[in-house]
Amino acid sequence: MNNIPVQNPFFETYTTPHNTIPFDKIKTGDYMPAIQQGISLQNAEIDSIIHNTETPTFENTILAYEKSGELLHHVSTVFGNLLSAETNDDLQELAKEIMPIMSEHENNISLNEELFARIKCVYENQASENLNQEQTKLLDDIYKGFVRNGANLQGEDKEKYRNLCTELSLQTLQFSENNLKETNEYQLVLTEKSQLSGLPESAIEAAAETAKEKGVEGWVFTLQAPSFGPFMTYADNRDLRRELYMAYNTKCTHDNAYNNLDIVKRIVNIHTEIAQLLGFDNFAEYNLQERMAQSSDAVYKLLNQLLDAYSPTAHQEYEEVQALARQKQGEDFILMPWDWGYYSHKLKDQKFNIDDEMLRPYFELSKVIEGVFGLATRLYGITFKKNPEIPVYHKDVDAYEVFDKDGTYLAVFYTDFHPRAGKRSGAWMTSYKGQWIDEKTGENSRPHISIVMNFTKPTQDKPALLTFSEVETFLHEFGHSLHGMFANSTYESLSGTNVYWDFVELPSQFMENFAIEKDFLHTFARHYQTGELIPDELVQRIVDSSNFNAAYACLRQVSFGLLDMAWYTRNTPFDGDVKAYEKKAWEKTQILPSIEETCMSTQFSHIFAGGYSAGYYSYKWAEVLDADAFSLFKQKGIFNPEVATSFRENILSKGGTEHPMTLYTRFRGQEPTIDALLIRNGIKK
């Protein structure tokens, strides 16, 4: 009996629709054997490339390398995605075993001298092969990827590089785990009704549900966005606002097991060491070589342009909020960071008579889904059909089949909307399977795409009613998913969202523009109880208020960009005070009083654990692109099918097959300028 091999779903042919992942069959114990088998198979594939006695060619070296490691890529994709969306202690412990093994394997490949010699040979003799645009780009990417991953390093430097990469994978993992655990462990328990003064019914109901889930009396508020945001916006009790604000903004700085201060230093120093080992002055210069920006100077130029353009308006916005607070609290009142959301909301309400609670009833989640899917149908002709036969990893997840305008199957699309203990905060798009075309058969292997959110949950009495900013977030992540679903490249590594980091936010931020368009809102925004369409005058108030505190919000993004650059333009090891360094890095952007104990860096997952190291500026860079792109839709009609088709064909379906500026100018007819963004935000008339 004991000799019967344990079945592992990763080793079997899937019998699911579209070969989707059989989440219902995968157990924690399946990952490690599948990872080990995947490594073993890829090693054999690499060996056969190296020991091929024929002259290295695109087909026998570059293409063979591109197609290697299929099982490993598949298993690690599933594991990595669930580590973010549906994790638990067992998975996190397993990650600590898997990450060093994966890091070592990746280094064994990128530092393999015989493999690199063959790749280099193809690269240097490519003129003899008559390669097309996509083949040339793949060859270029693979060759540069090897160089950037240490292929030219010799002797001790190679060993040092290996050790640094392994340590970095463990440090980033620990950073994320600490952040998630500290977020999950905090709760603000309120037992007196008076403490809830000012809070809308939706926030009170949600807090009561959370208390019930956690088995405590009263109301529980957490550091999850749907709980934290409304509390900071509406709670009248200033002391409680301060308490929650401080809990959020001192995450991972406390004297406990979740402290990230030393981890921040180590991650920064490892990045610096890796960059310098590879011949760069600092990590930003290394990273930006493969970005549209190309240099730290270009990033600073953009950030400083925005700082200069938006600062005067941001200070005016602050003065207005401060004036209102003093009107209510007395002339000696000093507006603190925990007051900003509360009083700016009151000012917005006074100026535009609008707030999230007024809009929520019109943004019932199922209707928003209809609206967002309907927008894609109107622009591109694609349709979505829920398929309960497709397995999912949690009961909150839905799976859809997506069909193109001619009715052919386009993609699988998973949606996961609500917070839970096993899910990290924020919102993101990812894929479980990329897209590629089989060059022999011509078969177009279609992608499996997923979007993950942390939206307001339904309560006993009400369905999930979203805030306006949650609607914008949905549109943002859905834009990323269209980039994935429309992918139409020959090679998976050039497909979909595999583009320069400062270009990847264009499709997502572009979609956010529709949120304030009446013709879009009228397609779905109906009152969840009465069915009444959102009134025109309410839509007008959304439009009128869309630039409320836009300059302040811009400076906030610029501050994150400056902080990121301050960490990654360093060329000497850092062993100072993380909090003090942070405050110095972004001081030019700070409008509210600075609080000594707070720290963003210790919870700034984007730049310490999420791939945005020396890349946070990308959001603003892509915003320049998205404002410029949408201005063409505004000019020709926001649902114009010709413009939408051009956007799909030139940007969304092309992935990383060409340089992003080539793709952009092909769509737009010109390079972008900052003007459209300044006009959209009301900074420039």
CA distance 250 to 437: 48
What is the reported pLDDT for 610? 87
CA distance 599 to 259: 11
* pLDDT band per the 50, 70, 90 thresholds, residue 673: confident
Per CATH, 283-352+547-685 and 360-534 having the same topology is answered yes
Tens of pLDDT, residues 305-323: 999 999 999 999 999 999 9
CA distance 172 to 83: 13
Mean pLDDT of all residues in 86-100: 95
Strands of the sheet containing 398-403, edge to edge, are: 383-386, 398-403, 409-416, 448-452, 428-433
Pairing state between β 398-403 and 409-416: antiparallel
Mean pLDDT of all residues in 215-233: 96
* pLDDT band per the 50, 70, 90 thresholds, residue 3: very low
Mean pLDDT of all residues in 383-412: 98
So what's the architecture of 360-534 in CATH? Orthogonal Bundle (1.10)
Phi, psi (deg, nearest 5) at residue 594: -85, 135
Return left, alpha or beta for 648; rule: phi > 0 is left, psi -120 to 50 is alpha, else beta: alpha
CA distance 366 to 525: 10
What is the reported pLDDT for 371? 98
User: In whole angstroms, how far apart are CA 78 and each of 21, 26, 82, 85, 145?
Assistant: 8, 10, 6, 10, 24
Whether residue 72 contacts residue 38, with contact meaning beta carbons closer than 8 Å, is answered with yes
What is the reported pLDDT for 1? 38
Burial of 25 (0-12, 13-18, 19+ CB in 10 A): middle
Tens of pLDDT, residues 545-593: 999 999 999 999 999 999 999 999 999 999 999 999 999 999 999 999 9
The rounded mean pLDDT for the chain is 96
Amino acid letter for position 494: L
Q: What percent of the chain has pLDDT over 70?
A: 99
What is the reported pLDDT for 5? 53
Mean pLDDT of all residues in 4-24: 90
Buried-exposed string 515-527: b where 16+ CB fall within 10 A, e elsewhere: bbbeebbebbbbe
So what's the architecture of 283-352+547-685 in CATH? Orthogonal Bundle (1.10)
Q: What percent of the chain has pLDDT over 90?
A: 97
Spatial neighbors of 554 by CB under 8 A, at least 6 apart, are: 306, 310, 314, 620, 681
What is the reported pLDDT for 10? 97
What's the 3-state SS for 357-368? HHHHHHCEHHHH
Whether residue 357 has pLDDT greater than 80: yes
What is the reported pLDDT for 6? 66
Whether residue 684 has pLDDT greater than 90: no
- Give the SS3 label for residue 331: coil
Catalytic residues: 477
Whether residue 365 has pLDDT greater than 90: yes
CA distance 294 to 434: 27
Mean pLDDT of all residues in 383-409: 98
Tens of pLDDT, residues 591-602: 999 999 999 999
Tens of pLDDT, residues 501-547: 999 999 999 999 999 999 999 999 999 999 999 999 999 999 999 99
Right CATH for 9-152 from 1.20.1050.40, 1.10.10.10, 3.40.50.300, 1.10.10.60:
1.20.1050.40
- Give the SS3 label for residue 414: strand
Tens of pLDDT, residues 629-655: 999 999 999 999 999 999 999 999 999
Buried-exposed string 130-169: b where 16+ CB fall within 10 A, e elsewhere: ebeebbebbbebbbeebbbbbbbbeeeebeebbebbbbbb
pTM listed for this prediction: 0.92
Whether residue 449 contacts residue 414, with contact meaning beta carbons closer than 8 Å, is answered with yes
Domain boundaries, the chain: 9-152, 186-249, 283-352+547-685, 360-534
Tens of pLDDT, residues 100-119: 999 999 999 999 999 999 99
Mean pLDDT of all residues in 463-479: 97
* pLDDT band per the 50, 70, 90 thresholds, residue 4: very low
Mean pLDDT of all residues in 263-283: 98
